[in-house]
Amino acid sequence: MKEVIRSVLSALGYRVEGIRYTPRQLLDPNRRRELRFDDVICRHMFEHGQECIFIQVGAYDGISTDPLYKYVGRCGWRGVLLEPQPRSAASLRQLYQDNDKIAVLEAALDRQRGRRILYTVATDDLPDWAGGMASFYREHLLKHEYLLPGVGERVREVPVDCVTFDDVLERLPGDKLDLLQIDAEGADGEIIALFPFDRVMPSIVHWEIKNLSRTEQESVLELLGGHGYLVARSGCEDMLAVLPPSAN
């Protein structure tokens, strides 16, 4: 009877696991520790050395909610930071003005070089995190009305330069890429789809998923899985993809 029930539920898409021998503490989500970005990064540095080569798309000011900041200077990381918003890019340049291992590009990542309109939010009297809201799509910013009432009246149009991944990769010291970090306000999936995985395989890909639909998330995971990556959630808002040891 158990096998019949298991087969029926399996056909409906359910996975049945026994919990008879599972400690009760592991059934409490408040007691479980999730895989984090820092777990994967520290393991990678232990195995390959602490200097990581990285690309960061959507670096904002380099500090606010930035998972890379604590490593860049302390561990001697080398990389390229992309940030299209002029004020934020200026903050990045000031932050890393004495670090010759870091290149700041005031540009957005796109399929081809050129100029596009970026929609941003006037944030003089808004929370700091609101400054990171920027998108090629105005409607994406309007989705945040429930958090920022009247946000539509604050939307501004900013012409920005666009570069390709080829332009960015030329700024790296070689073919090695340890980390591709993306935080692009809902464009994360589109940007990952533009990366030339056929030529360069980042050891780790870390991106935001909270603004992606289920279909968009599945499309990204299918693409990365096709290149041999193993995936895991990183907290509630992000996702990690890591090449298995045999592929590094």
203 close to 248: Cβ distance less than 8 angstroms: yes
Specify the pLDDT at position 128.
Answer: 67
Mean pLDDT by 10 residues, the chain (248 residues): 69 70 80 89 96 96 92 96 94 96 96 93 69 79 73 84 97 94 93 97 96 93 97 92 82
- Residue partners of 219: CB distance under 8 A and separation at least 6: 189, 193
**Residue 44: strand pairing partners:** none
In this structure, whether the domain defined by 2-247 belongs to CATH 3.40.50.150 is answered with: yes
Which ranges of the chain would DSSP assign to H, the alpha helix?
Answer: 2-11, 37-48, 69-72, 86-95, 138-142, 165-169, 188-194, 214-226
HSE at residue 200, side-chain half, CA atoms within 13 A, is 23
Question: Which residue type sits at 69?
Answer: Y
Specify the pLDDT at position 43.
Answer: 96
| String of DSSP letters for 46-112 | HHH-S--EEEEE--TTSSTT-SSHHHHTTTT-EEEEE--SHHHHHHHHHHTTT-TTEEEE--EE-SS
Q: What angle do CA 159, 165, 168 make, to 5 degrees?
A: 85
Question: What backbone phi and psi angles, to 5 degrees, belong to 91?
Answer: -65, -40
Judge residue 157's burial from the number of C-beta atoms within 10 Å of its C-beta, 0-12 exposed, 13-18 middle, 19 or more buried. Answer: exposed
3-state secondary structure of 229: coil
CA–CA separation, 70 and 172 (whole Å): 20
Specify the pLDDT at position 151.
Answer: 74
Cβ count near 70 (within 10 Å): 12
Specify the pLDDT at position 137.
Answer: 83
Specify the pLDDT at position 26.
Answer: 77
3-state secondary structure of 132: helix
